[in-house]
Amino acid sequence: MRKSHGSGPKHALTLGVVASIEKLGDDFGNTRKWLAEEICDICKKETKFYPVRVTAHGEPINDSDEDQGVTAFMCSSCRNPS
């Protein structure tokens, strides 16, 4: 188990995947099955996404803010709007 310290690479999901790859190597890559589709929760596009800590209303929070226990999967465009 991992604890989130932020979004993206600091999120517990990402930290757990990295730890699994380090521990199991190719076995993890060949046998894993994702439960979530690779679709952005915001724009609904099929794309690579990142786990982002958000408020109950879906607004991203800073890594320094208190974790509210809610995660959204966002593509890079929605995660970092211009």
To the nearest 5 percent, what fractions of the chain are helix, strand and coil? 30, 15, 50
Q: What is the pLDDT at residue 43?
A: 92
Q: What is the pLDDT at residue 32?
A: 79
Single pTM value for the model: 0.69
Q: What is the pLDDT at residue 2?
A: 82
Q: What is the mean pLDDT of each run of 10 residues along the chain (82 residues)?
A: 81 85 84 83 89 87 81 87 68
Q: What is the pLDDT at residue 60?
A: 86
